[in-house]
Amino acid sequence: MGFFRRMVKHTYERWHKRWVKAHFQKFKSFDNCLKYNGMTKLSNAVPGSYKFVVAHCGEKLRHRLLEMGFLPGDELIVIENIGHGGSIVVKIKDARIALGNKIADNILLLRRK
């Protein structure tokens, strides 16, 4: 029985690997994958208009960002991005908010057509 289970697991892992490779090989990196899907990290965003998607961070900060108006789907304008580990200024709900690079790395945006 143990042998059978191991066989199934092995086969599944093999197929899973192939599936991942087939689907993601065109993206050389995570950033590229985002780009292909019309998304970007806030830390890489060039100034312009975006839609806020999600922030991956601790519960406390997530809640704070929510209250400051970072609602999924809302418009967000990137005003200035210093780049290379610098901070980013965005405009959301008529307020200008500066975000450090570390948090900006965990925020995903959707580019507006």
Partner 1 sequence: MQKNIKIKVALAGNPNSGKSTIFNSLTGSNQHVGNYPGITVEKKEGSKSYKGYDINFVDLPGMYSLSAFSDDEAVARDFLIKEKPDIVIDTIDTTNLERNLYLFTQLTELSVPIIMVLNMVDILRSQGKVINKKAMSDLLGVPVITTVASRKIGIDDILDSIVSLFENKKLKNQIRAKVDFGDVIKEQTDKLEDLISKNPTLSIFPERWLAIEFLDNGLSILELISETNNESEILTQLKKSKEHIKEHFGEKADKEIVDRRYGFAKSIVKTVVKKTGQDKVDITGIIDSFVLNKYLGIPIFILVMYVIFKFTTFADPMANLFGLLFKWIGGVVVSLLPICPVRSLIVDGIIGGVGGVLGFFPMMLFMFFAIAFFEDSGYMARAAFVMDKVMSRFGLHGKSFLPLMLSTNGCAVTGILSTRTLDSKRDRLITMFIAPFMICGAKLTVFTLIIDTFFHAKYKTDIMVVMYFLSIAIALGIAKLLSSTVLKGDAAYFVIELPPYHIPTIKGLLLKMWERGTLYVRKAGTTIVFASILIWVIFAYPKAPINENLSKNEQVALQAQYSFAGRAGKILEPFFKPIGMDGNRAVALIAGFAAKEVIVSTLGTIYAIEDGSGENLPLKEKIANDKDWSALKGITFLIFCLIYIPCVVSVIVFFKETGSSYKWLALLVIGSTASAWIVSFIVFQIGTLLKY
7-15, 21-29, 33-41, 68-76 -> range binding partner 1 (CB under 8 A): 68-76
38: CB partners within 8 A, 6+ apart: 110, 111
2-10, 21-29, 32-40, 89-97 -> range binding partner 1 (CB under 8 A): 89-97
Question: Would you give the binding string for partner 1 spanning residues 48-67, x where CB under 8 A is met?
Answer: ---------x-xxx-xxxxx
> Is residue 28 classed as helix, strand or coil in its secondary structure?
coil
Closer residue to partner 1 in complex, CB, 13/80? 80
Q: What is the number of other CB atoms lying within 10 angstroms of the CB of residue 76?
A: 24
Number of residues located near partner 1, criterion CB under 8 A: 32
34: CB partners within 8 A, 6+ apart: 40, 41, 108
